[in-house]
Copies of this chain bind each other. A is one copy, B any other.
């Protein structure tokens, strides 16, 4: 099935979970870190706790209980809580800062780079992530992600799925919303993008939350324009 994307000029990508495999990356770095320190932790549980604190922390910012802050700062706040919960005490500031920046070093899903290279021949490919600009730039350099543009929720001090984030992308790319397709593994992100007029592409990432996780978000909402198994499948379906 190929859909008509003749009017689409840009693809904006969710990053955590859609482009990069945060969970495996966190577990691998955690295990290395634990080994070097001689400490035992269930790093899968640690990764899930760290990521699990993310949406509630953004909600606290939305409710005004916390000031707006970069995701780096939110990640650090949750990291400090998780270190306490897992009884990981006595880390130096440098160690905690390095651990926190694991989000700058996340590894792409195997299809991400080759798929993006194909897609960018036809479209502008940009991030549209809650990750802050410096996180996304460092990640791209580290992983070799070939973005044309780094756009972040940071630029409007709102987090997705607030509409301001998608509207900012349309304004800065100087495109009408329906000339942009949001690509994400999460229906909530896509529904919000659609509500401001974007086209939407769902990409299945069955292992995002680990092999035994709830599979609720693996079925695209019926409203999406296209659904794909990975970025190369998306390129096929967009006729690239």
Contact = CB atoms under 8 A, between A and B. Distances in A.
Contacts of A132: 172, 174
Interface stretch (A82-90, A147-155, A200-208, A222-230): A147-155
A149 B70 CA distance: 17
A134 B173 contact: yes
B124 A173 contact: no
A196 to B, nearest CB: 18
B172 A154 contact: yes
A72 interface: yes
A101 to B, nearest CB: 11
A137 B141 contact: no
A99 interface: no
A193 interface: no
Interface string A60-99: 0000000000101000000000000000000000000000
Given A141-B124, A155-B155, A133 B70 contact: no
Interface in A153-183: 154-155, 172-175
B148 A137 contact: yes
Given A124-B141, A150-B149, A134 B174 contact: yes
A149 B133 contact: yes
A134 B172 contact: yes
A231 to B, nearest CB: 18
A116 interface: no
Interface string A98-124: 000000000000000000000010001
Nearest to A169: B133
Contacts of A20: none
Interface of A: 70, 72, 120, 124, 126, 132-134, 137, 140-141, 148-150, 154-155, 172-175
